[in-house]
Amino acid sequence: MAPETGTASKAAPANRATLDRELAGLDALELGGATRVSPLLKVWSAVWPMITAVLIALGAWQAVVWSGWKDPWVLPGPADTLPVFWDQVTSGRFWTAVGLTMQRAVVGFALSIAIGVLVGALVSQFRVLRRAFGSLITGLQTMPSIAWFPLAILLFQLSESAILFVVVLGAAPSIANGLIAGVDYTPPILLRAGKVMGLRGLNHYRHLVMPASLPSFVAGLKQGWAFAWRSLMAGELLVIIGDTTSLGVLLSQARELNNTADMISYMLVILVIGIVIDQLFGVVDRAIRSRWGLDGD
């Protein structure tokens, strides 16, 4: 029996080594090879689609100008507009206008988040409030922001409050609906597990419901920002306060003076700001997807 025992003891390390190699191969297959990508390659892969889209848009714009559909003074081409855009970006008055517009955007969006989270949390937790206000929140979300301005001007005259009023009404319902949807789609097994672990009241909402509803909530924030930005631009075109200078005021002045190149340059600035904010939301979204193991990169 002794020789057999010795043979078995020698075969055990060999079998263990073979098993380790097989497991390592399965791990590599599951992780997709775990290949490392150069940071420059990552940046290029993220940038080139946007560059291509910009070039296509500029080409289409120039093609419309060449078609003679409108006179050049009505619709100037990229060669006439982009230098004006650069001059605007390098001027102090422009940055003063951008600063005021962004200040209004940040304040209005912050108020929208506070109100949207409060309303969404209450409606998602109490069935009576859901039946009473659920459809109303959706109705407010679908209502055009421009329709609120006559009432806002009557209530607050031509003031900052009138603009913020419409911004909040445009953004808060989307944020509330995002939170409500996140709570509704929280897996029941997580809720039962939370009860088993003793989560009650505020702790239940803070440590379980909010993290579980985070993806839908961030989607609601992104949509809320889009509504807030659109409402703000409409407000700055309609509500001009004293001698203040904002992007909306510059856009309105360019329209009144029939200065199409300046007007398009301001529109480009508004578009660029919207794209930058969208990219910031994209960073948050990718971080959440990576945290949840949903990142396919």
d(Cα 251, Cα 22) in Å, to the nearest integer?
Answer: 66
Q: How confident is residue 296, by pLDDT bands cut at 50, 70 and 90?
A: low
DSSP string across 155-224: HH-SSHHHHHHHHHHHHHHHHHHHHHHHHHTS-HHHHHHHHHTT--HHHHIIIIIHHHTHHHHHHHHHHH
Query: What is the per-residue pLDDT across 108-159, written as a single tens digit (0 to 9) for each?
Result: 999 999 999 999 888 888 888 888 887 888 888 888 888 888 899 899 888 8
Find the mean pLDDT for residues 274-293: 81
Q: How confident is residue 1, by pLDDT bands cut at 50, 70 and 90?
A: very low
- Give the orientation angle of helix 92-125 with respect to helix 214-238, to 10 degrees: 130
Find the mean pLDDT for residues 194-204: 76
Find the mean pLDDT for residues 68-81: 84
pTM above 0.85, yes or no: no
Find the mean pLDDT for residues 7-34: 53
Query: What is the per-residue pLDDT across 248-261, written as a single tens digit (0 to 9) for each?
Result: 888 888 888 888 88
Token pair 């609906």 in the structure block, residue: 177
Which tops the pLDDT comparison, 87 or 38?
87
pLDDT of residue 86: 86
pLDDT of residue 167: 92
Average pLDDT, whole number, for the chain? Answer: 81
Which tops the pLDDT comparison, 104 or 241?
104
Contact 225, 109 (CB under 8 A): yes
Whether residue 51 is predicted with pLDDT greater than 80 in this model: the reply is yes
Which tops the pLDDT comparison, 5 or 191?
191
pLDDT of residue 146: 85
Could you state, in order of their start, the residue ranges of all structural domains in the chain? 37-69, 72-291
CATH code: domain 72-291 is 1.10.3720.10
pLDDT of residue 33: 47
